[in-house]
A = this chain, B = another copy of it.
Amino acid sequence: MRYLDKDAIEDIALGASFFGAGGGGNPYMGKLMAMQAVDEFGPVKLLEPDETDDEDWYCPVAIMGAPAVMMEKFPKGDEFGRVLDKLEAYTGHHFTGTFPMEAGGVNSMVPLTLAATRQIPLVDCDGMGRAFPELQMCTFHLGGVSTTPMAITDEKGNAGVIETISAKWAERLARVQTVEMGGSATVSLYPANGKQIKQNGISGIVTQCQQVGQSIRLAHNDPETALKNLLDATDGHFIFEGKVTDLLRTTKGGFNVGDIHIAGFNDFQESELVVTIQNENLFAARDGKPVTMAPDLIIILDAETLTPITTEMIKYGKRVKVVATPANDKWRTKAGIEVAGPRYFGFDYDYVPVEELLKED
């Protein structure tokens, strides 16, 4: 158990945008909100999963929708408490703490804000070890924890509860409401007790975000060492560097989708990397040959500052370095690949781990 202050939040936000793998929303607004909450209510208590009580209930709160929309339609703040209240009333559980659904810019900050405001602890875990675009893409789902009952609300005050026969139906019914609510909504889902958290959470992800954030923060002194430290800390691979030359990106069905084309520099001169996105970076092919596939992580970094660039913020002409890291082992299973592997996202490839794809190089 330890406490998270404003410095910690700064690093967690930065590190979470790395694990967000292009998604999870830009951390800036979320960070300001979390910092303001900590200013007002004091530091947030961070519990290790082992410190949770097996019988106590915990519940994540997250923003759902297209990150490009979230930027322009940010929550007012009362959504986080309201959506948790709705789910408490519906389930009859008292939620003694919260945790991030995913490691990703905004969605790492939302539960921190909620924890500060409500004076409840944050558990040092998430349900993805990264960010993913759809609700069923969650290690709690892989472990048999139900996505629902879940609650949903918007900034206007509309709210609802969803209870479905499958995680995919939760995704479908929540997604159409998110789109109708204007493209983004606040949700609480996967209520879990301490026992389920220990079994299914990606343990230590908040701390890992903080460490990665620290590495990136030091990049302005010595980018090369910082990149090396970053790769060491994440078992990462440096897969490309170059300049964004083409960008096909639209908002469709409540998601940001598209392709990012990057023309190579230095070791990658004459090469092109194409990264395909659905909120997150999902698939990277170098000169037509896959080099990283979901569930493994593809992270596009600013070439100078190593700041991770989310899919809605990337711009034509940007100079970038691209890093890939292996997904948590929970994703590298038959069930994990079925839920979040290349075929689910429409790529006609069997999943091959990033380290093996790079060996073939």
Contacts and interface: CB of A to CB of B under 8 A. Distances in A.
B165 A176 contact: no
Contacts of A169: 156, 158
Contacts of A317: none
A161 interface: yes
Nearest to A181: B173
A90 interface: yes
Interface string A53-93: 00000000000000000000000000000000010001000
A354 to B, nearest CB: 35
A156 B168 CA distance: 13
A311 B161 CA distance: 33
Nearest to A177: B173
Interface string A180-193: 11000000000000
A247 interface: no
B163 A160 contact: yes
Contacts of A177: 173, 176-177
A165 B157 contact: yes
A188 to B, nearest CB: 14
Contacts of A159: 162-164
Nearest to A153: B163
A285 interface: no
A173 B180 contact: yes
Nearest to A156: B165
Contacts of A172: 180
Contacts of A161: 90, 160-161
A179 interface: yes
Contacts of A176: 176-177, 179-180
A159 B172 CA distance: 12
A86 B162 CA distance: 11
14 contacts: A156-B169, A157-B164, A157-B165, A159-B162, A160-B160, A160-B161, A160-B162, A160-B173, A172-B180, A173-B177, A173-B180, A173-B181, A176-B179, A176-B180
- 10 closest Cβ contacts across the A-B interface? A176-B176, A161-B161, A160-B162, A158-B164, A176-B180, A157-B165, A159-B163, A158-B169, A172-B180, A173-B177
Interface of A: 86, 90, 156-165, 169, 172-173, 176-177, 179-181
Given A160-B161, A173-B177, 14 more contacts: A86-B163, A90-B161, A156-B169, A158-B163, A158-B165, A158-B169, A159-B162, A160-B160, A160-B162, A160-B163, A160-B173, A161-B161, A172-B180, A173-B180
